[in-house]
């Protein structure tokens, strides 16, 4: 932001930091529905408006006309006051509530250029003439009866029954250099006006009070009570103007005698450039300090979002890491050999004569083993291969779907909510696709296993033995060796699996040698572990992607804290502290 002429280095630094703050606010997101989220979202929007509508444009143009927002409760007579001060029927008033919908900005004709663009209130489209009642428009009216350097903005009711009116009224008051706050003898003690006046006091906003429609005979009493209330809230310095309950004149305006003191005060500010600048600086400084305080109030909500995001991501990581660990354990401890795989393997190698011959001595049995494997065992070998394929695929799918369910339960009952779960679930592959992918994974792993065997069996002797037995048979034997641990088995399973695995081990050693068998088994086992991890990553990714699309900028909180600290320091320097 380029510093305007006439402001010092400290003010220029403040202006630059305010631009940084505005950019940082754009990075803030509170997508997770957490305890502090709703308030933080609203506060972020309000802070953006405060910067865009008032603070940044005012720092850029301290010489711009003062914007006086005429605000107050329903039926307080704001529009009638604007008409009386301008001596023009520019503001529309009615007995029907709510009255003011589209805000009206009245300015001197010479000040037209200051307000026709989006210098202030950039989100409101400019219209001239009778507005259509839209909350997204700002009606402009030019008159020669207002002094140059002063504009009046007739605001919707602060206590309107229409929420959009209330929100817009609060936004407009935050965009003002000066508040002309209108209340009545019947309504001045209401809670809503005092909440806004308390805010004005905390922000050091320049404010004047108009006590309107005061019945004859009670003016002194009401004025005294209102003055006391203002003093209690640190607003004793605010000018207080009283307008009696009176009929409108023939021209439809509040009698001149009742508004002349208000007009004189406003014109005095408009005609005194030093006073005008002082008002702008006072309100601007208070607004900046309030923004710094309110900005710091967002930090706990940002920490809450960041912490929740870490927790949600950890739930995904933990669930799928646990699933992968279970797959690895099942592969390593022999659990894969349970059930169908173990039964098919037992049918393949038997448990009788072939084992006794192995125990008698490997050297004497090699040829017999080879002869046996070349016989009727081929068909049974294929059954073992299919059983292993189904067993591993079923295990992969089961553990992966268990991890998915774990994450969905954790997110649904915790920080994520049903919406987050539904969005992530929509990105997941179907159960059918998952099953097909698992089956394909095992087949690819088995193909890699076969390639590994062929690589190790390059010499003629080993190659001949592999060919004599059949590549699939040797691959099955290697798989059995890989899954040979009996830690996950019990009872008779240990006897069968442990004993028959010796057959596969001795067969492979007879072909390749014991060192080559260990090397192949370790390589194939590592490959299966990695493939299982990659398989699960595919189903973990939708959850991680959903977290990424939330738009939680993990560094935004730290950046916000830093710019606010620098802003506060620059403000102290600007004030000579």
Place of tokens 């004599």: 468
pLDDT in tens, 242-263: 988 887 777 788 999 899 999 9
User: Which residues does residue 244 pair with via DSSP β-bridges, in sequence order?
Assistant: 214
Note the Cα 128 to chain centre separation in Å. Answer: 39
For residue 149, is pLDDT > 90?
Answer: yes
User: Which residues does residue 242 pair with via DSSP β-bridges, in sequence order?
Assistant: 211
* CA atoms of 361 and 364, how far apart (whole Å): 6
User: Which residues does residue 139 pair with via DSSP β-bridges, in sequence order?
Assistant: 104, 127
DSSP secondary structure string, 305-360?
A: HHHHHHHHHHHHHHHHHHHHHHHHHHHHTTGGGSHHHHHHHHHHH-SSHHHHHHHH
Higher local confidence (pLDDT), 448 or 247: 448
Query: Going along 18-60, which residue ranges are E strands?
Result: none
User: Which residues does residue 128 pair with via DSSP β-bridges, in sequence order?
Assistant: 140
> 273: Cβ–Cβ under 8 A, 6 or more apart, which residues?
149
Torsion of CA 25, 31, 33, 34, to 10 degrees: -50
For residue 49, is pLDDT > 90?
Answer: yes
Residue in 96, 244, 222, 238 with CA at minimum distance from that of residue 181? 238
pLDDT in tens, 519-569: 888 899 899 999 999 999 999 999 999 999 988 888 999 999 999 999 999
Please give the pLDDT value at position 361. 46
Note the Cα 159 to chain centre separation in Å. Answer: 31
199-225: b or e for each residue (b if 16 or more CB lie within 10 Å)? ebbebbbbbbbbbbbbeeeebeebbee
Please give the pLDDT value at position 488. 43
Please give the pLDDT value at position 38. 94
Q: Which H helix or E strand runs over 373?
A: helix 362-374
Higher local confidence (pLDDT), 134 or 225: 225
- Coil, strand or helix at 96: coil
* CA atoms of 508 and 474, how far apart (whole Å): 7
pLDDT in tens, 4-34: 444 456 788 999 999 999 999 999 999 998 9
Is the Cβ–Cβ distance between 527 and 448 less than 8 Å?
A: yes
Q: Classify the phi-psi angles of 246: left when phi > 0, otherwise alpha if psi is within -120 to 50, otherwise beta.
A: beta
pLDDT in tens, 265-290: 999 999 998 999 899 999 999 999 99
For residue 368, is pLDDT > 60?
Answer: no
Higher local confidence (pLDDT), 111 or 158: 111
Please give the pLDDT value at position 506. 75
pLDDT band at 349 (very low <50, low <70, confident <90, very high): low
Long-range contacts of 524-528 (CB under 8 A, 24+ apart): 524/445, 524/448, 524/449, 524/452, 524/478, 524/479, 524/482, 525/331, 525/332, 525/482, 527/445, 527/448, 528/331, 528/392, 528/445, 528/482
Of 205-209, 349-353, 420-424, 433-437, the one with minimum mean pLDDT is 349-353
Query: Going along 64-177, which residue ranges are E strands?
Result: 66-72, 104-108, 125-128, 137-143, 150-154
Please give the pLDDT value at position 387. 79
Please give the pLDDT value at position 304. 93
Please give the pLDDT value at position 509. 79
Mean pLDDT in residue range 422-441: 95
For residue 353, is pLDDT > 60?
Answer: no
Is the Cβ–Cβ distance between 179 and 212 less than 8 Å?
A: no
CB atoms within 10 A of CB 260: 13
pLDDT band at 342 (very low <50, low <70, confident <90, very high): low
pLDDT in tens, 158-187: 878 888 888 888 888 889 999 999 988 887
Higher local confidence (pLDDT), 537 or 488: 537
* CA atoms of 79 and 75, how far apart (whole Å): 9
Is the Cβ–Cβ distance between 292 and 55 less than 8 Å?
A: no
For residue 358, is pLDDT > 70?
Answer: no
Q: Classify the phi-psi angles of 470: left when phi > 0, otherwise alpha if psi is within -120 to 50, otherwise beta.
A: left
The mean predicted confidence, pLDDT, of the chain is 83
Note the Cα 349 to chain centre separation in Å. Answer: 60
pLDDT band at 470 (very low <50, low <70, confident <90, very high): low
pLDDT in tens, 68-92: 999 888 888 899 999 999 999 988 7
Place of tokens 């408006």: 49
* CA atoms of 107 and 67, how far apart (whole Å): 9
Mean pLDDT in residue range 285-297: 94
pLDDT band at 402 (very low <50, low <70, confident <90, very high): very high
Q: Which of 194-208, 360-374, 398-412 has the highest mean pLDDT?
A: 398-412
Residue in 190, 163, 169, 27 with CA at minimum distance from that of residue 103? 169
- Coil, strand or helix at 125: strand
Peptide bond into 564 cis (omega under 30): no
Secondary structure of 307-318 in the HEC alphabet?
HHHHHHHHHHHH
Mean pLDDT in residue range 465-481: 72
CA distances to 61, 209, 216, 576 from 255, rounded to whole Å, are 36, 18, 15, 46
For residue 51, is pLDDT > 50?
Answer: yes
Q: Output the CA angle 88-92-96, nearest 5 degrees.
A: 150
Is the Cβ–Cβ distance between 500 and 343 less than 8 Å?
A: no
pLDDT in tens, 492-510: 444 444 555 666 777 777 7
pLDDT band at 317 (very low <50, low <70, confident <90, very high): very high
């Amino acid at each position: 932001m380029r510093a305007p002429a006439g402001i010092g280095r400290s003010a220029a630094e403040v202006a630059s930091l305010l631009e940084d703050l505005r950019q940082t606010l754009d990075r803030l997101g509170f997508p997770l529905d957490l305890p502090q989220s709703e308030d933080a979202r609203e506060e972020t929007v309000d802070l953006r408006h405060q910067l865009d509508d008032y603070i940044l444009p005012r720092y850029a143009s301290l010489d711009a006309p003062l914007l006086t927002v005429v605000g107050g409760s329903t039926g307080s007579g704001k529009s009638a006051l604007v008409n009386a001060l301008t001596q023009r029927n520019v503001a529309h008033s009615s007995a029907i509530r709510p009255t003011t919908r589209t805000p009206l900005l009245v300015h001197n004709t010479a000040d037209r250029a200051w307000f026709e663009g989006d210098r202030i209130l950039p989100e409101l489209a400019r219209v001239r003439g009778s507005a259509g009642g839209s909350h997204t428009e700002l009606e402009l009216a030019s008159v020669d009866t207002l002094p140059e350097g002063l504009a009046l903005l007739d605001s919707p009711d602060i206590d309107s029954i229409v929420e959009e009116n209330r929100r817009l009224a609060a936004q407009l008051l935050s965009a003002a250099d000066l508040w002309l706050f209108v209340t009545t003898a019947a309504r001045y003690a209401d809670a809503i006006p005092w909440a806004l006046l308390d805010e004005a006091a905390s922000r050091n906003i320049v404010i004047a009070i108009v006590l309107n429609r005061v019945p004859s005979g009670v003016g002194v009493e009401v004025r005294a009570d209102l003055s006391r209330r203002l003093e209690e809230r640190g607003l004793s310095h605010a000018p207080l103007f009283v307008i009696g309950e009176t009929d409108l004149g023939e021209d439809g305006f509040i009698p001149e005698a009742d508004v002349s003191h208000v007009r004189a005060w406003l014109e005095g500010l408009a005609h005194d450039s030093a006073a005008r600048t002082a008002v702008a600086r006072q309100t601007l400084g208070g607004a900046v300090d309030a923004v710094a305080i309110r900005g710091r109030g967002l930090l706990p909500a940002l920490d809450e979002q960041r912490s929740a995001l870490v927790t949600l991501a950890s739930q995904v990581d933990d669930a799928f890491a646990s699933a992968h660990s279970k797959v690895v354990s099942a592969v390593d401890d022999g659990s894969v050999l349970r059930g169908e795989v173990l039964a098919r393997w037992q049918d393949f190698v038997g448990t009788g004569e072939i084992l006794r011959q192995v125990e008698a001595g490997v050297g004497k049995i090699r040829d017999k083993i080879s002869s046996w494997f070349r016989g009727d065992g081929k068909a049974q070998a294929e059954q073992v291969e299919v059983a292993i394929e189904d067993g591993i695929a079923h295990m992969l799918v089961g553990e992966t779907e268990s991890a998915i369910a774990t994450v969905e339960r954790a997110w649904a009952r915790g920080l994520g909510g049903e919406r987050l779960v539904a969005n992530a679930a929509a990105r997941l592959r179907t159960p059918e696709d998952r099953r097909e992918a698992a089956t394909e994974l095992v087949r690819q792993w088995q193909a890699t296993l076969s390639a590994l065997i062929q690589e190790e069996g390059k010499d003629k002797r080993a190659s001949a033995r592999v060919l004599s037995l059949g590549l699939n048979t040797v691959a099955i034997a290697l798989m059995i060796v890989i899954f040979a641990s009996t830690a996950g088995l019990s009872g008779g399973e240990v006897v069968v699996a442990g004993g028959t695995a010796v057959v596969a081990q001795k067969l492979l050693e007879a072909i390749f040698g014991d060192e080559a068998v260990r090397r192949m088994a370790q390589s194939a086992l590592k490959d299966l572990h990695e493939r299982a991890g990659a398989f699960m990553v595919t189903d973990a990714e939708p959850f991680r992607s959903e977290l990424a699309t939330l738009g939680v900028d993990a560094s935004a909180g730290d950046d916000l804290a830093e710019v606010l600290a620098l802003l506060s320091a620059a403000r102290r320097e600007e004030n000579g502290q």
